[in-house]
Amino acid sequence: MKSSHQEQIDRILEKLSQVRAQGLSCFGSDQHHFELNPPIQERLLLEFENEYRVKLPDEFRAFLLYAGNGGAGPYYGIAPLPIIRSKILDWPFEEPFEKVLDLPCPLYFRMKQASDWESEFGETDPYQGTMYIGTQGCSYYMLLIVTGEFRGRVVYVNDDDGSTPFITHEPDFLTWYERWLDELLAGYKIFWFGMGVGGTEEELLAKLKNPTTSDLDRAEALRAYWRFPKISEESKALIPTFLSEPDLEIKASACRMIRTFELRTAEEPVGELLSAPTAELRREAIWTLMQFNPQRWSEKVSRLLYDDDQDVTETAFQTLKQAKALSRTRLLQLLNEPPNEGVLYMATYTIEWLSEDLELLLRLLEHRNDTIRFYATLGLRKIKALEAIPIVIPLLETDVDPLVRGSILHMLGELDSRQSRETLLSWTEKGDDDARLDAVDGLCKLGDERVIPVARQMLQETRSPVSYDANGRPCGGNINSIGYLVDQSLQESPNKALRKLSSKPGF
């Protein structure tokens, strides 16, 4: 029996053939090679639908039945039904797995990006009525809405950072899938396929020029231009005119495209956005101006290092750093009078520490931020601050961050003193396994032969070392054994006696 979607299926199969014939590639294509699995038997599809008491959207059913049971598709491709079923069985929420598909999906198109977006749905699970259909890599994956108002649409989800799900613009699976092939064949940038409205340049131009197009649609049409490898002179002339629009999203989108296509004639009006009322606009202006002419704009961007918005200050720092426009004097100013913790962290990482900075580094050792304290220890090691040894040793007992402790132990192994050696020796028997190994490594570097009996014992340990996080919880171990890592330290020691120890009979 022919599907009502057969004409679209035939187009998709033909376009897949064209993609293969042209030798095209995209993110994930090295996995699926633009090949589909054989279509599924309708009997198996009906069994699935009966088991979960839901009828899959018609367009997705047609794809499985007449195109292929998974295979080629955006990102790492479309999952076959057995994989989809295994993901349902792994459902992590409280509802039993047989109910997750037939409950109405509450997600909706154009959800606002917010860190607490899930609270909008109260006790309702926001992912009910959705079904896994593929991965985008790492913690990103694709869902299909199978119930509710937006049934049939594809959703992009990040399972790691809690960001708001993105419902794609296409009304159904086949339209979304065919758009992927159309953009591939047209030579568009496709790394983040589907993140925005589709359409050719001519179609987007028509939207932008139409006085009845809403502000939201115009902002989205402008953002969609990034996909094109190049644009027409008409678009180049039109895009900068949107900087005078009252809508802030339109301004931000125009600024982004001015940067993308290097429309340098718009540099002056973009410069006015450095004092714009929203952080997003100020950030877009910084990125654009520092890409166009960092020498001209560095001083004005430097003033935004003390902006009220932390994202703006960090953007200013990053672009100034890339332009090599952050002098040591400026970095010291930021370290002594930091606008916020983010800039302090970046300045601590960026500055080239000198011996005259000892007092500042010791102050940073007291900071509440673990990473800032860690970079302060690296600074002390860089300037070989032997006089800091009596100050850092007590921190081994009080600082709970394993990176900070580890860096201090490495510091003791680099700066020889009686206190360094005695402390390292004591830490071969305290702390977690990572600390013990760091202490042994330090003693080996110093050539202290008192490590020999300790190393002799640890060389016999065949288990992997276990480390602990800042809360005292085990967080996994190294793939190598403790004995292997001690042996490596012994062989790299400048002390010949220690190097020979690991090769003696019985070890």
DSSP β-bridge partners for residue 167: 155
CA distance linking residue 400 with residue 403, whole number of Å: 9
pLDDT at 159: 79
Contact 382, 411 (CB under 8 A): no
Taking CA atoms, 453 is separated from 382, 459, 490, in Å, by: 31, 10, 12
What counts of helices (H) and strands (E) characterise the chain? 26, 6
Contact 208, 236 (CB under 8 A): no
Is 355 exposed, middle or buried (CB count within 10 Å of its CB: 0-12, 13-18, 19+)?
exposed
Please report which helix (H) or strand (E) contains residue 147, including its range: none
pTM (2 decimals)? 0.82
Taking CA atoms, 469 is separated from 3, 111, 370, 410, 427, in Å, by: 56, 36, 12, 18, 17
CA distance linking residue 261 with residue 222, whole number of Å: 12
pLDDT tens, N- to C-terminus, the chain (507 residues):
456 899 999 999 999 999 999 999 999 999 999 999 999 999 999 999 999 999 999 999 999 999 999 999 999 999 999 999 988 866 555 555 555 788 999 999 999 988 889 999 998 989 999 999 999 998 899 999 999 999 999 999 997 877 899 999 999 999 999 999 999 999 999 989 999 999 999 999 999 999 999 999 999 999 999 999 999 999 999 999 999 999 999 999 999 999 999 999 999 999 999 999 999 999 999 999 999 999 999 999 999 999 999 999 999 999 999 999 999 999 999 999 999 999 999 999 999 999 999 999 999 999 999 999 999 999 999 999 999 999 999 999 999 899 999 999 999 999 999 999 999 999 998 878 888 889 988 998 898 889 888 878 877 777 777 666 666 666 655 567 666 766 777 776 667 666 666 554 444
